[in-house]
Amino acid sequence: MSDVVKQISDADFKSVVLESNLPVVIDFWAPWCGPCRMLSPMVEELAEEYAGQVVFVKMNTDENPATPGQFGIMSIPTLLFFKDGELVGKSIGLKQKLALKGLIDDLL
């Protein structure tokens, strides 16, 4: 994992995501999930493209069940989009990079 996408846990979700001054994209994933592994390089690329504008984080759903449960995450990969501590968007499953850019641009 690169330095631009930070791994977070249930314990630091509030401080990293809800209290962020920048919009946040959180990638819910698990190591055994093929589509998650396919999405990961795109998330890394987007994090580099939007560096300084949007915070990108990942959460392993196997190790951190509370936050995915709180937001009703039933399948992975799921991306949640937060702005000013509020959930403003969701993307479920593997998407094209251009579609994800559109969702991120809506955050800004």
pLDDT tens series, the chain, 108 aa? 457 899 999 999 999 999 999 999 999 999 999 999 999 999 999 999 999 999 999 999 999 999 999 999 999 999 999 999 999 999 999 999 999 999 999 989
CA-to-CA dists, residue 36 to 11, 20, 45, 57, 85, angstroms: 22, 24, 15, 14, 25
Containing domain of residue 76, as a range?
A: 5-107
Q: What is the DSSP letter of 42?
A: H
Dist. CA 31–CA 12, nearest whole Å: 20
Tell me the C-alpha distance between 7 and 21, whole Å. 18
Of 5, 8, 17, 36, which one is the catalytic site residue? 36
Catalytic residue among 5, 17, 33, 59: 33
Q: What angle do CA 103, 27, 13 make, to 5 degrees?
A: 110
Distance from C-alpha of 53 to C-alpha of 51, rounded to nearest angstrom: 5
Domain count, the chain: 1
In this prediction, residue 1 carries a pLDDT of 47
Q: Check which CATH number belongs to the domain holding 100 and give it.
A: 3.40.30.10
Query: Catalytic site residue 33?
Result: yes
The confidence score (pLDDT) of residue 3 equals: 74
- Known catalytic membership, residue 41: no
